[in-house]
Amino acid sequence: MAGSSSQRNKSVLVIGAGLGGLSAAISLRAEGFDVEIIEKNDKIGGKLNFKEIDGFGFDLGPSIFTLPQFFRSLFERAGREMEDYLELEAVHPHWRNFFEDGMVLDLDDDPGVMRRELNKLPGDAVHHWHQFQNFLTYARGQYELVNDGYFARGLDNLWEFIRHYGWRKLLFKMDHRNSMAESIAKHFDDDYLRRIFEYFIKYVGSSALDSPGYMNMMPIIQFDYGLWYVKGGMYNLARGLGRLLEDLDIRVRLGQEVGSIDRSGGRVVSGVTLEGGSRLTADYVVCNMEVLPAYRKLLSEPPAFMKKLQRFAPACSGLVLHLGTNRVYHELAHHNFFYSKNQNKHFHTVFRDGELPEDPTIYMVAPTRTDPSKAPEGCDNLKILPHIPPINPENPHTMDDYLALKERVIDKLERMGLTDLRRHTIVEDLLTPPDIERLYNSNRGSIYGVVSDWKRNQAFKAPKQSSKYSNLFFTGGSVNPGGGMPMAILCGQKVSDRVVAREENLGR
């Protein structure tokens, strides 16, 4: 195998075939481990999921492909080339942004397009261009810092940060004193641009008011590395990884759920017990279930231990609405945002008050702009996603609450240009936070894993290696570096690196 001079006489069980689990399994197999994946659903991919209804092909989960270098490195670990397993198409414009007053502004990595778009804004166009360029320079500096250690080295906590970066870089180079929104406000006079760049936080399902300034690195993933679509549909990424699993002889048990992670005494796990009672043993367990549900459900950890993990609170959930329409809404791009009149209120309502927003900022995908096969001719395929709080176990929202929000969202979209959307809808599918929790065992229905909140967790997610069991590792959106497809893919690779390092230390 690539990366290993010989087969290791060690076995790994991976719980869950989400992107983090698949990446860890592939990376560990490339290092010579014997690997088996257990997945409760009937197909791999986790939240990277799809549904076909009457000729409409809906991507239920992620819809934006960024940072292709992280995916390519996974294939390279296995001695393969990504292009043999999936094909990417660049998406232009990146986003189309709609505001209640009629302003429509595109984002794109083409400087000529951006100059044209910034000319739409009130005020001095040259001034807007300079502020935009200055912001990207600042954001690029933050990306380079984060990439140098957090991404490239797989750093897991503040002490690893300090050892890698040193105090000077952390104190004077990394933007952590300001919130993301505060640093954006310092760079832009224009309110349209402030709201647009605040909403890059959607990638990690958090609030720009609570996330540290260095999260402003996120625009760089688009402006420097492009925004992509997986040809034939986003689920073709999972299909490509599935072919790679077959090529590497990695076994996958579909439709089988893990009931518990087994302990062999002390700080060691010995394998898993499936819901049907079968026991599987292994030298390592890698868990793609989110950290808090895994400790609670699979290990039955006591309240005192769980309390230590409270800082890894869930990121937001979403109301995921899929519509098939019998007309095309030509004003839409592939990716679109419809902004709240008061975005600060939206952030406060969802992330601090835990309530459903009256006037949410809405993300909408219209994939037929890139892939006409996703809807019948003359029709549109629309995925609509407002961010909403995760489930509150003490005071959960009801289905009626979610349906009322759905009606407010449709009202807003009709008001902002999607005329007679209700009347033209011929197919509808809805996912609520309880659906997301049930499908993916996510913590309280979270979509993006752990919230990025400076006061709560300094934007850190849970560590990759269990603090209690030395041969139990975690991967996926609840683990550093966090939510989103590229982060999950990167996380799995860094989990493999940590397992290999442990093996080498044990062998000395």
With respect to residue 289, please indicate whether it lies within any of the assigned structural domains: yes
Instruction: Say what the pLDDT of residue 265 is.
Output: 82
Angle CA 69–74–75, to nearest 5: 100
Instruction: Say what the pLDDT of residue 8 is.
Output: 85
Which tens digit of pLDDT belongs to each residue from 437-493?
999 999 999 999 999 999 999 899 999 999 999 999 999 999 999 999 999 999 999
Residue 158 pLDDT grade (very low, low, confident, very high; cuts 50, 70, 90)? confident
Domain boundary among 168, 197, 225: 225
Instruction: Say what the pLDDT of residue 7 is.
Output: 75
Q: Give yes or no: residues 123 and 211 share one domain.
A: yes
Residue 2 has pLDDT above 50, yes or no: no
Residue 507 pLDDT grade (very low, low, confident, very high; cuts 50, 70, 90)? confident
Q: Give yes or no: residues 129 and 215 share one domain.
A: yes
> How confident is the prediction for the chain on average, in pLDDT?
96
Residue 424 has pLDDT above 90, yes or no: yes
Residue 4 has pLDDT above 70, yes or no: no
Q: Give yes or no: residues 239 and 221 share one domain.
A: no
Instruction: Say what the pLDDT of residue 6 is.
Output: 55
Which tens digit of pLDDT belongs to each residue from 274-300?
999 999 999 999 999 999 999 999 999
CB 481 within 8 Å of CB 491: yes
Phi first, then psi: give them for residue 140, nearest 5 degrees: -65, -40
Query: Domain count of the chain?
Result: 2
Over residues 342-354, the mean pLDDT reads 97
Instruction: Say what the pLDDT of residue 42 is.
Output: 97
Domain boundary among 225, 252, 280: 225
With respect to residue 150, please indicate whether it lies within any of the assigned structural domains: yes
Q: Output the CA–CA distances (angstroms, integers) from residue 37 to 9, 19, 25, 357, 373, in the order listed.
A: 18, 12, 7, 39, 32
Over residues 160-173, the mean pLDDT reads 94
CB 483 within 8 Å of CB 47: no
Over residues 403-427, the mean pLDDT reads 98
Q: Give yes or no: residues 194 and 273 share one domain.
A: no
With respect to residue 456, please indicate whether it lies within any of the assigned structural domains: no
Q: Give yes or no: residues 218 and 244 share one domain.
A: no
Q: Give yes or no: residues 270 and 206 share one domain.
A: no
Over residues 30-52, the mean pLDDT reads 97
Q: Give yes or no: residues 219 and 138 share one domain.
A: yes
Provide the residue range defining the domain that includes 262: 11-48+234-309+461-506
Residue 1 pLDDT grade (very low, low, confident, very high; cuts 50, 70, 90)? very low
Domain boundary among 172, 201, 225: 225
- Identify the CA nearest to 363 among candidates 202, 194, 484: 202
Residue 72 has pLDDT above 50, yes or no: yes
CATH code for the domain in which residue 156 is found: 1.10.405
Q: Output the CA–CA distances (angstroms, integers) from residue 238 to 80, 248, 317, 488, in the order listed.
A: 16, 15, 22, 13
Q: Give yes or no: residues 261 and 220 share one domain.
A: no
With respect to residue 373, please indicate whether it lies within any of the assigned structural domains: no
Q: Give yes or no: residues 267 and 185 share one domain.
A: no
Q: Give yes or no: residues 239 and 220 share one domain.
A: no
CATH code for the domain in which residue 19 is found: 3.50.50.60
Residue 393 has pLDDT above 80, yes or no: yes
* Token duo for residue 176: 């952590």
With respect to residue 44, please indicate whether it lies within any of the assigned structural domains: yes
Contacts of 25 (CB under 8 A, 6+ apart): 12, 14, 35, 37, 245, 250, 286, 492
Over residues 376-396, the mean pLDDT reads 98
Residue 498 has pLDDT above 70, yes or no: yes
Which tens digit of pLDDT belongs to each residue from 101-118?
999 999 999 999 999 999
- What long-range pairs does 217-222 form, CB within 8 A, spacing at least 24? 217/139, 217/140, 217/142, 217/143, 217/145, 217/146, 217/147, 218/139, 219/135, 219/136, 219/139, 220/136, 220/139, 220/140, 220/142, 220/143, 221/66, 221/67, 221/143, 221/486, 222/66, 222/94, 222/107, 222/109
Q: Give yes or no: residues 157 and 213 share one domain.
A: yes
Three-state DSSP state, 478: coil
Residue 3 has pLDDT above 50, yes or no: no
Residue 343 has pLDDT above 70, yes or no: yes
With respect to residue 174, please indicate whether it lies within any of the assigned structural domains: yes
Rounded Cα distance between 42 and 295, Å, is 24
Share above pLDDT 90 across residues of the chain, in percent, rounded to a whole number: 96
Strands in 389-451 per DSSP E:
425-431
Q: Give yes or no: residues 156 and 252 share one domain.
A: no
- The residue with greater pLDDT, 5 or 175, is 175
With respect to residue 440, please indicate whether it lies within any of the assigned structural domains: no
With respect to residue 261, please indicate whether it lies within any of the assigned structural domains: yes
